[in-house]
């Protein structure tokens, strides 16, 4: 399964967001998208307008960028998975490196969020990846697998089948650096092998999420175990996002 997720992060005003979404929706016709599953993850203020705007375009799904692990409660500023479900949101990004770094989210908290998302029929896009010091020390493969193993702990086979994994080399996010195609393939193949060994299946989609853009996407998407991309900056440009969809479809 080929998947392209556009993570807008904390960018665009509501007006700018809808304008970008209209442009993306007009470009991504059935003929363009083919067998690629396209997802956009706008800021939370844009979620309901985005769902409404895309109601007549079945080619694009909507994801939230985060959620709480409880259904309700005294958690000021948070959004529950139940709220997302009732807003017709399809998926949610969990454990993004920026959530781990800036908001101190732990592996155990990510695991709670994954279970909460699945309980409410949301597709969790589970992010894992190493920092620069872990790559330099040589522990990056096992360190990244530990994150993923904890995130998926105690899931049923049915729950596991609905999970999407995104590998983020943290050292390549927002830095202009990018993992080489061989480095991306090495991690994706390792995670797939460990998933099969531990959970009995290696069929989960594994996306690459490290400064992927039209200029380097061909080589990344050509790798055997790369099933698509979690796209940051390039998802804020409709023409770049279109190019990435086309490159993934042809890969």
| Residues classed as catalytic | 96, 168
Q: How far apart are the two ends of the chain, measured CA to CA in Å?
A: 12
Token pair, residue 133, equals 């010091």
Q: Of 188, 193, 191, which Cα lies nearest the Cα of 228?
A: 188
Integer Cα distance of 42 and 99 in angstroms: 16
Of 199, 196, 194, 229, the residue nearest 214 (C-alpha): 229
Please tell me what DSSP assigns to residue 171: G
Q: Do 154 and 122 contact (CB within 8 A), yes or no?
A: no
Contacts of 119 (CB under 8 A, 6+ apart): 81
**What's the rounded Cα separation, in Å, for the pair 98 and 34?**
31
């Amino acid at each position: 399964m080929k998947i392209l997720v556009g993570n807008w992060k904390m960018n665009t005003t509501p007006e700018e967001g809808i304008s970008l979404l209209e442009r993306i929706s007009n470009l991504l016709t059935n003929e363009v998208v083919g067998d690629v599953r396209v997802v956009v993850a706008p800021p939370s203020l844009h979620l309901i307008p985005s769902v409404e705007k895309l109601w007549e375009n079945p080619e694009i799904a909507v994801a939230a960028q985060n959620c709480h692990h409880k259904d309700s409660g005294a958690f000021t500023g948070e959004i529950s998975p139940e709220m997302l479900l009732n807003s017709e949101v399809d998926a949610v990004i969990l454990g993004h490196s920026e959530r781990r770094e800036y908001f101190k989210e732990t592996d155990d908290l990510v695991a709670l969020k994954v279970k909460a998302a699945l309980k409410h029929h949301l597709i969790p896009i589970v992010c894992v990846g190493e920092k620069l010091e872990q790559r330099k020390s040589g522990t990056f493969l096992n360190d990244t697998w530990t994150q993923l193993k904890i995130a998926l702990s105690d899931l049923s086979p049915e729950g596991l089948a609905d999970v999407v994994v995104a590998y983020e080399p943290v050292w390549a996010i927002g830095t202009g650096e990018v993992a080489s195609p061989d480095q991306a393939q090495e991690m994706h193949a390792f995670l797939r092998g460990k998933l099969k060994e531990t959970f009995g299946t290696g069929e989960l989609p594994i996306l690459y999420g490290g400064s992927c853009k039209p200029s380097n996407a061909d080589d990344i998407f050509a790798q055997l175990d790369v099933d698509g991309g979690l796209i940051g900056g390039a998802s804020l440009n409709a023409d770049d996002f279109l190019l990435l969809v086309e490159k993934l479809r042809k890969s």
